[in-house]
Homo-oligomer: A and B are copies of this chain.
Amino acid sequence: MAAISETIVRVNYSETDQMGVVYHGRYAVWLDIARTEHLRQAGFSYRDLEEEGARLVVTDLRIRYRKPARYDDLVRIRCWVRESVPRRVVFGYAIEDTATGTLLGTAETALICLDRTHQLSRLPPAVVRALTRSEDPVRL
């Protein structure tokens, strides 16, 4: 797989606010969608992972908003692994307008792994192997 995945979302009306742009809080969901697809492209279904008892939990979220996204736009979220250690994985994200290529925002999320008993645990080895680190393609 490519170390940087791409996911496209179409902006729905429910995501806009009365400024006429996408509500800023909505980006956290886009990152979630992109992260799930990144794992899928790396050969993992997060659903399967969770059914096996592991859970990836977001501990840190950081988003920098540059340009607004608008209703009906096709937005591309590029996602990659910035850092992966036994108990923590950090994803980076670049959010772009597909029509113009404009960078709309950048983001980072850190996740830890909890086991069935909600204890901090190591990431499953197969996950670690699949999560190839990548250089940041844009400055976060």
Contact = CB atoms under 8 A, between A and B. Distances in A.
Interface string A15-55: 01111110111101100110010000000011100100001
B55 A59 contact: no
A129 interface: no
A14 B18 contact: no
Given A18-B17, A45-B72, A32 B12 contact: yes
Interface of A is mostly: mixed
A63 B64 contact: no
Contact of A24 (B10, B45, B58, B65): B58
A47 B47 CA distance: 26
A55 B71 CA distance: 14
B60 A65 contact: yes
A119 B46 CA distance: 28
Interface of A: 10, 12-14, 16-21, 23-26, 28-29, 32-33, 36, 45-47, 50, 55, 57-65, 71-72
